[in-house]
A and B are shown apart, each in its own frame.
Chain A
Amino acid sequence: MKKPILELQNVSLQYQNADASVSLALHEIHTSIHEGEIVSVVGRSGCGKTSLLMLLSGLMKPTSGEILYEHKGITTPSRERVIIFQNHLLFPWKTALQNIEFVLRARNFTGNLEKEAEKYLRLVHLEKYKNRYPQELSIGMQQRVGIARALSSDPKVLLFDEPFASLDGETRNEVLEEVFSVVRGLKKTMVLVTHNIEEAVYIGERILVMSGTPGEIVKEIQVNIPKTKNIIDMRYRPQYIRLEKQIRKYVV
């Protein structure tokens, strides 16, 4: 059994609204994520999935409860737990290469910045586009550069906030398959937040189903379907259909 890398202990989160009233976003979340594990968090919009990810990254602090990373409380963001946002993935004033170089500089990389940055662009097959600004790339390419940039920080945990939500169906499948074939090989711990059940099952080894307002984990499901090369192959398997039905029951 692998050791837990992230532990959430009865974590609750409250927001203060503009009118000074308080909203409870997350209620008593209690779970742990193990080293090298790929966990999908699935739930409807507004159930607190992104808030959960922000807490894990250290960008937000829980109102009560504790979040541990390698058995120590999370107090600040760290490049060991990198979050990949749905939007605002890349800095628009930097080229694809410069976006990655920025991260390398932030982690005090001392070697040849350009060569190292190119190495990460090669991982996502975008080395030819290194001098393009994000807006000169397609959304799918931007996502791939964003993931290359996240990987360049050499994180232990990758936190994905619906990274493929802005892509259309076919492009989403292509990017998702390509990106995760690379990312799986790196044996990193990953947490993917999504409202898309298919995506959650395709990527995750374990699924945390969230529901309600405030958000709670209502079910944890182990994915025992063998991983297929592409998402369409998985879609028609009876195990997947059963699993989807089960998840949908809790999400709704």
Chain B
Amino acid sequence: MKKQSHIFRFEVILFFLLLWEVLSFHGLVNSLLFPPPSRILLSFKDLLISGELIHDVAISFERVIVGFSISLCTAIPLALLLGTNKKLHAVVSPFIDFIKPIPPIAWIPIAIIWFGIGNNLAYFVTMIASFFPIFTNTFVGVENVPKEDLEVAKCFGANTRMQLLDIIIPSSLPYIFSGIRVGLGIAWMSIVAAEMVTSISGLGYLITANQQMLRLDRVFVSMMTIGLVGMVMDSLVVRLRKKVVRWK
């Protein structure tokens, strides 16, 4: 049944691409604005062989991974700390609630002044982008730890460290993974946006540079690569979640 639905989806995509190709070939679609799939495929091959595409993917990917790792290492401990300490949460939460709604892109102008144009700015933007989804989801996870589980643990004499490592963190893991999925997606989107505005490399830059030369076929290749890499990263997180959160 699942296999059949996959085949159906593939057929629909194939039909759409064929239709696009045929309409382009007969001049019913402006091929300058909507380059046909065959041309996009050729550009993809050219960019791949020249190494340009892989180089830019690697640069953007590295920026996301660094920024994302920083937020992972800060957002989860902070959420665990605030989730288990109501007094501290009351003090810190107004700041978090204030900063959270600011879109990651809005930080770019100020980040240019703070870090200059380069990798540090990119790390900062991806860190800001992924921090809040990870923080918020982890915090909700801690808040939702069943009271009974903690009571049982206390009853058995578990100390604070055991309560954290054996109860709070494992119980929050499904939420943490939801935060990671959302955070990674937003970090990936944000890096492309940041590179479009500031960078001289990366997938975002590849889009801007080719757009200025009216090479929309290459712009489409870049966009599709962004989608593909994002999809692969997400599916890796889902696989990891299945391995780690085995009980769900």
Contacts and interface: CB of A to CB of B under 8 A. Distances in A.
A236 to B, nearest CB: 38
B246 A133 contact: yes
Interface residues of A, number: 26
A85 B148 contact: yes
Interface stretch (A103-111, A176-184, A210-218): A103-111
A82 B155 CA distance: 6
B191 to A, nearest CB: 33
A135 B148 CA distance: 17
A91 interface: yes
Contact of A105 (B148, B155, B162, B171): B162
Contacts of A165: none
B247 A135 contact: yes
Contacts of A91: 149, 152, 166-167, 170
Interface in B155-213: 155-159, 162, 166-167, 170-171, 173
A78 B157 contact: yes
A93 B148 contact: no
B136 to A, nearest CB: 22
Contact of A88 (B146, B157, B173, B247): B146
A77 B155 contact: yes
B248 to A, nearest CB: 8
B142 to A, nearest CB: 15
Interface string A82-126: 110101100111100000001101110000000000000000000
Interface in A199-238: none
A24 interface: no
Contact of B247 (A59, A77, A81, A93): A93
A87 B146 CA distance: 11
A133 B247 CA distance: 7
Given A133-B246, A133-B247, A135-B247, A102 B148 contact: no
B171 A93 contact: yes
B149 A59 contact: no
A91 B148 CA distance: 10
B155 A107 contact: no
A78 B151 CA distance: 11
A70 to B, nearest CB: 16
A59 B151 contact: yes
Of B158, B159, B171, the most chain A CB neighbours within 10 A belong to: B158
B247 A102 contact: no
B117 interface: no
A79 B155 contact: yes
A150 B153 CA distance: 11
A94 B159 CA distance: 18
Contacts of B170: 91, 93-94
Given A91-B167, A91-B170, A133-B246, A103 B149 contact: no
Interface of B: 146, 148-149, 151-159, 162, 166-167, 170-171, 173, 245-247
27 contacts: A59-B155, A76-B154, A77-B155, A78-B155, A78-B157, A79-B156, A79-B157, A82-B155, A82-B156, A83-B151, A85-B152, A88-B146, A88-B149, A91-B167, A91-B170, A92-B247, A93-B170, A102-B153, A102-B162, A102-B166, A106-B153, A106-B156, A106-B159, A106-B162, A135-B247, A153-B156, A153-B157
Closest 5 CB pairs of A and B: A88-B148, A79-B157, A93-B170, A106-B158, A77-B155
Given A79-B155, A88-B146, A135-B247, 8 more contacts: A76-B154, A79-B156, A91-B149, A91-B167, A91-B170, A92-B247, A93-B171, A102-B162
